[in-house]
Amino acid sequence: MKVVSYNVNGIRSAASKGLFDWLEISLPDVVCLQELKAQEDQIDTKTLEEIGYSSYFFHAAKKKGYSGVGLLSKTKPDFVQIGMGIPKYDDEGRVIRADFGPITIICVYIPSGTTGDARQAYKMEFLSDFAQYIAELRQERKEVLICGDYNICHKAIDINNPDKHTTMSGFLPEEREWFDQFVATGLIDTFRVFDKSPERYTWWSFRARSKGKNLGWRIDYHLLSEEARRRLKSASIFREIEYSDHCPVRVELDMSI
């Protein structure tokens, strides 16, 4: 099973730049999308169906053109759950769960705290409640893959010039401590199993991109529960794909085991 996670920074814009063409060529089994910035009736689901995908979307209920997540799958899931059941987060369309046989895939778009103290506080509340949601889920579903834009660089190796970013949302000590505690519950950063080199980023500012500078942040992850470690075959970053200010990340799981 090949699973791609991608913050598209607006699915309509990404589609106009060739996102659906890329999907038709690469054909991952499951695609987790973040930051749709669209309502479901604004998304070209007909083309997705023609490519071979069932699609499930969760948009922001109170602020159109904001946030939103989606999950595409070549095989229909056994079960789909939209949201965490917590209105203050579900109003922003941030989580979708889908079960495929023994494995549960979560698509998450963790809030950014870059716009001020209130949003940073909201982000920290989300992180706490999301960790609790996952802990409760794992009591029922042992094999879990949590895909998405976490808006956090976990380690110094995951960000350019780490010493300059310690007071910035996304690399704050309390955010990194949350990440430490989250993975300590038995989660694997799949990419780092295969690649421990520096400067392996998934997001770059427009300025850095336009100047061709590799000054980025690795904030997009596939975290896999230890119970599913035996299935892990590969994990990679598609740095050559540029339909967004992020790039896709992929993990491959062996579901025959």
Q: Sketch the domain layout of the chain as residue ranges.
A: 2-253
- Residues in the chain, total: 257
> Could you tell me which residues come within 8 angstroms of residue 218 by beta carbon, excluding any fewer than 6 positions away?
153, 154, 158, 159, 191, 200, 201, 202, 203
Q: Which two tokens stand for residue 25?
A: 């060529």
Which 3-state string (H, E, C) describes 49-85?
Answer: HHHCCEEEEECCCCCCCCCCEEEEECCCCCEEEECCC
User: To 5 degrees, how large is the angle CA 170–CA 137–CA 185?
Assistant: 55
Contacts by 160-168, CB closer than 8 A, 24 or more apart: 160/199, 160/201, 160/214, 160/215, 160/216, 160/217, 161/215, 168/114
Q: What is the pLDDT of residue 210?
A: 64
- For residue 117, pLDDT beyond 70: yes
Residue 72 contacts residue 4 (beta carbons within 8 Å):
no
Give the strand pairing for 143-149 and 220-225.
Answer: antiparallel
pTM for the model: 0.96
Q: What is the pLDDT of residue 255?
A: 97
Q: What is the pLDDT of residue 214?
A: 84
Average pLDDT, the chain: 95
With CA atoms as reference, report the closest residue to 134 among 88, 173, 187, 172: 187
Q: What is the pLDDT of residue 206?
A: 66
Q: Which two tokens stand for residue 149?
A: 């834009």
Percentages helix, strand, coil for the chain (3-state, rounded to 5) are: 35, 30, 40
pLDDT digits (tens, 9 = 90+) for 145-161: 999 999 999 999 999 99
In which residue are the tokens 């982000």 written?
123
Question: What is the pLDDT averaged over residues 174-200?
Answer: 97
With CA atoms as reference, report the closest residue to 100 among 50, 158, 145: 145
Domain spanning 2-253: CATH 2.40.30.10? no
Instruction: For residue 188, give the H/E element and its range.
Output: strand 187-189
pLDDT digits (tens, 9 = 90+) for 29-67: 999 999 999 998 999 999 999 999 999 999 998 888 899
Question: What is the pLDDT averaged over residues 190-208?
Answer: 90
Indicate the annotated binding residues for Mg(2+). 7, 35, 149, 151, 245-246
Query: Which residues are part of the catalytic machinery?
Result: 109, 149, 246
Q: What is the pLDDT of residue 65?
A: 85
Q: 45 burial class (0-12, 13-18, 19+ CB within 10 angstroms)?
A: middle
C-alpha–C-alpha distance, residues 112 and 213, integer Å: 23
Q: How confident is the model at residue 212 (pLDDT cuts 50, 70, 90)?
A: confident
Q: What is the pLDDT of residue 170?
A: 97
- For residue 242, pLDDT beyond 90: no
Question: What is the pLDDT averaged over residues 9-38?
Answer: 96
C-alpha–C-alpha distance, residues 171 and 28, integer Å: 31
C-alpha–C-alpha distance, residues 132 and 224, integer Å: 16
Question: What is the pLDDT averaged over residues 212-220?
Answer: 90
